[in-house]
Structure 1
Amino acid sequence: MKQKILMIGFSMVALKQFKDRTDIEVYIIEEEELYEKNKLSEFKTNLVKKIVFGNYIDSEDCVAIAKVLHDEIEFDAVFPSKDYAVKATGKIADLLGLPGLKEKNARILTNKILLREACERYDIPHPRYKKIIRKEDLFNFYEGNPFIFKPATLQASIGISKIESVGDIEKAWENTTSALDNPKITVSREINREHIAEDYVNGPEFSVETLVRDNEIIFSNITEKITFDNNFVEEGHIVPANISAADTEKLLYEKKNLVEKLEIDSGLLHSEWKIEKDGPVLIECAGRMPGDYIYDLISNAYEFDFLKEYSMILMREPTNIQQLATKVSTIRYFNCPAGELKEIKGVDSLMVPEVVDFSIDRSIGDIIPVVKSSWDRVGHFVVVGETHDEVNRIANEILNQVEFEVEIK
């Protein structure tokens, strides 16, 4: 008998990953507005048995819908397809008695202010912070050192401002409070917006992807992050991270502490950390599958299907997880100047065996914006090899050969 998964939010990523599975069938609750404007009816898959409309973005309207569906279908798992679905998914999992992050944790993991308050309660290393309501709050927060001002309820590095002096506050206020989410993933109705300031943390940045079953960590990976110059958007990731044994131990200790203090039931935590001289500091933590194809990097490096095993945890099924990486995998995003795209050169450099996936998401004539969020990037490629030196060498050679010629407008 097939396992029945309720997916909150239509995820083409997950459905493409699950396309060859014969052990599951999927039912989806999606926002009608997103379904229509993203033309999701054109995505065909035999996995999906039913799609119903219901609000889940800053809304719990879908909870009652999920209960009615469950009474009819009896789901084996509820799956959060994206960050904005995590909060509703947590409530549904609690209501239906299914594995999940618990409603209280789903709220914490979708609001950066609530996460900081939890860090205070549970002694998780974190930067000094303050909820920001008025511009004057930024002046009061400033103590002479750089700090970050950002939306507390948005994703993809949208609206992040770095304030290094009092003179930066006016521009940062305008940049952050006026930041707009990608219209493809949000709705036109009014959504709650909150903002937070926190001390800027120096040091290299890593993420830790952790699978948890019944409050026990059963897998953790450390991902090394590379960001574009002068902003906070990721230019790439490396799995597993090229990191010392001492820093690995510190990161995994703090992640275990986070999982235990929050009393995570079952699910996936994608947490982001910076390592200072005194140890790791938690930057953010999400309760859903990581973005930027990190799930693929893990699958390539550890040679098991990361998203499949995540779904097996949610379905209370046995897992088949490889604990040690046997390869190194990296993703890099192309760095394209802003302007009208005129020509792309060097694409042939991607046609090597070590490149297992790539995409260029812009066409000649497109207007390329300055990279301010993850949505502004023009494409990516994935390299898999035996060592960090090998994948970094190949990735850098490709980045040097693929050129985007633009006309500055």
Structure 2
Amino acid sequence: MNRKILILGAGEMQIPVIEKAKSMGLYTIVADMSADAPGMKIADAPVVISTMDKEGILACCKDNKVAGILTTSDAPVNVISYVGETLGLPSMSMEVANICTNKYLQRAKFAENGINVPFFKLCDKDTDLSELKDFPYIVKPIDSSASRGVKKVINYTELTAAVAEAIKYSRSQKVIIESFIIGKEYSVETYTQNKKTTIITITEKLCIGEDKGFFVEDTHIEPARISDTDWIAIKTEVTKAIAAIGIDNCPTHTEVKLNDEGVFIIEIACRLGGDYITSDLVPLSTGVDMLGNLIKIALGEQIDVKSKYNKCSAVQFLNPNNYERCKAFIESGDLHIKRYEV
């Protein structure tokens, strides 16, 4: 029998890692609360269970004698760390997983370790917000993901409404209010194994919707179009933040903003980047097999994070603002590489 690996999540974004594990000769056990999730159809052994059910997932791992456990989603990393520590499987620690899934704990940890942070305040439904006058702010649930409940606000009326809305998306009913950081946004894809962190690449992010207070990712470009000086500044701050949290034996996806005052870390997630960044863009631009490394690190094997080449890759998401332009480009059949303004 081939070695068994348990993958938490069977949505569309998990299909690439399931397929990668199968191509590596592993027996894939895939857990999801929906029997109809697309990844369940390609799993060797689909298991209908919530990816947040840590005791149920632990029992599944014990029963199947798995060699490793992984996820590409945010919330289940707490289950990964719990199972990892309980069974002695490679994973980030439970403390690290807790910090990486709690925006307030991250901000506090950064502040303690001299890492650039904006003003921030932890709030719940009873917090007096009247003292907050230095708009704009950004309001976020402390323990949600995928920008759910995140809103930029420019006055008190918007602030109170945004806090009430963000609380709906928070499992703990708490939100964090931060000073809004002006600057260009980037994400940083890394791996840390045996306490050694490697920056694989920096992705340039273009967003739309800020004028309405929301942030919808529109385009990802690799490598980011930045100077060597800015690349080093981002690398230095992200590496320092990863060390401050104590991240090890996992990938990280770090969102940062860069302005004249320096590099500000928005959030660190101890998982791979989504939106096709690590499944497609990073391998295309660097030759680094991010999914293969995720599986190897879950099995306790040495990962290969050395870039094989330096190419360009990008993804453009369709939206009302660019639909006609993208449609005309595709229909023209002129799909050869050119320089297009984005």
| TM-score normalised over the length of structure 2 | 0.87
1:13-28 correspondence runs (5 A): 13-19=13-19, 21-28=23-30
CA separation of 1:204/1:74 partners in 2, compared to 1, >3 Å: closer, same or farther? Answer: same
Are residues 54 and 246 of structure 1, via their aligned partners in 2, closer, same or farther at CA, if it must alter by over 3 Å?
same
Q: Distance in 1 between matches of 2:172 and 2:79?
A: 15
How far apart are the structure 2 equivalents of 1:66 and 1:264? 23
- Given that 1:94 and 1:100 are in contact with CA atoms closer than 8 Å, whether structure 2 keeps it comes out as yes
For 2:116, what is the secondary structure of its paired residue?
Answer: coil
1:154 alignment counterpart: 144
1:226 maps onto 2:206 in alignment: yes
Q: Are 1:326 and 2:326 counterparts?
A: no
8 Å CA contact 1:328–1:391 kept in 2: the answer is no
Summarize the Cα distance change of 1:144–1:261 in structure 2 as closer, same or farther, 3 Å threshold.
closer
Q: 1:212 to 1:223 in 2, by over 3 A?
A: same
Q: 2:300 aligns with which of 311, 316, 319?
A: 316
Aligned counterparts of 1:95 and 1:195: Cα–Cα separation in 2:
31
Whole-angstrom CA distance in 2 between matches of 1:297 and 1:17:
15
> Secondary structure at 2:130's aligned position in 1?
helix
Q: 2:328 aligns with which of 320, 330, 346?
A: 346
Residues in 1 aligned to 2:14 and 2:156: alpha-carbon distance in whole angstroms: 44
Aligned residue pair count: 333
Q: 1:346 to 1:118 in 2, by over 3 A?
A: same
Aligned partner of 2:110: which letter? Answer: C
Amino acid of the residue matched to residue 44 of structure 2?
K
Q: State which of 81, 104, 114 in structure 2 corresponds to 1:113.
A: 104
* Counterpart position of 2:5: 5
For residue 128 of structure 1, the aligned residue among 119, 126, 144 is 119
Deviation at 1:305, TM superposition (A): 2.4
Cα displacement (A) at 1:41: 6.9
Residue aligning to 2:50:
55
SS in 2 for 1:79: strand
Contact 2:11 2:37 in 1 (8 A): no
Which amino acid in 2 is paired with 1:66? I
Residue 68 of structure 1: SS of its match in structure 2?
Answer: helix
Secondary structure of the 1:90 match is: helix
Partners of 1:95 and 1:137 in 2: how far apart? 41
> 1:106 offset after TM fit, Å?
0.6
Structure 1 residues 164 and 41: alpha-carbon distance in aligned structure 2, compared to 1, 3 A threshold: closer
Selected match of 2:68 from 58, 73, 77: 77
Is the partner of 1:334 in helix, strand or coil?
Answer: coil
Matched, 1:305 2:285: no
Q: Does 2:219 correspond to 1:244?
A: no
Which deviations, in whole Å up to 9, do the C-alpha atoms of 1:301-348 show, x marking residues without a partner? 1123221122112212233333265211111112227xxx9xx95374
Q: Does the aligned pair in 2 maintain the 1:10–1:81 contact within 8 Å?
A: no
Tell me the residue number matched to 1:192.
Answer: 172
Separation in 2, partners of 1:323, 1:314: 21
> What is the distance in 2 between the residues matched to 1:136 and 1:116?
19
For residue 174 of structure 1, report the CA deviation from its aligned partner. 4.7
Q: How far apart, CA to CA, are the structure 2 residues paired with 1:218 and 1:161?
A: 32
The answer to whether the 8 Å contact 2:10/2:39 transfers is no
Kept in 2: contact 1:300–1:329 (CA 8 A): yes
SS at match of 1:154: coil
User: TM-score by structure 1 length?
Assistant: 0.74
Q: What is aligned with 2:190? A: 210
1-structure distance, mates of 2:17, 2:339: 24
Equivalent residue runs for 1:93-104 within 5 Å: 93-104=84-95
Q: Which one of the candidate residues 130, 137, 142 is aligned to 1:139? A: 130
Contact 2:182–2:259 (CA under 8 A) maintained in structure 1: yes
Unpaired runs of 5+ residues, structure 1, are 182-190, 355-384, 397-409
Structure 2 residue corresponding to 1:40, chosen from 37, 42, 49 = 37
Counterpart residue identity of residue 211, structure 1: Y
For residue 159 of structure 2, what is the amino acid of its counterpart?
I
* Native 8 Å contact 1:9 1:30 kept in 2: yes
* Corresponding residue number in structure 2 for 1:406: none
Q: State yes or no: 1:284 paired with 2:267.
A: yes
Residues 28 and 276 of structure 1: CA distance in aligned 2, closer, same or farther (over 3 Å): same
How far apart are residue 350 of structure 1 and its match? 7.3
For structure 2, which runs of at least 5 residues remain unmatched after alignment? none
Q: Which amino acid aligns with 2:198?
A: I
CA distance in 1 between counterparts of 2:115 and 2:90 reads 25
Summarize deviations over 1:101-132 as a string: whole Å, max 9, x none.
11111111111111112212222211111111
Instruction: From the superposition, tell whether residues 13 and 169 of structure 1 become closer, same or farther in structure 2 (CA, over 3 Å).
Output: closer
Which residue of structure 2 lines up, in the alignment, with residue 363 of structure 1?
none
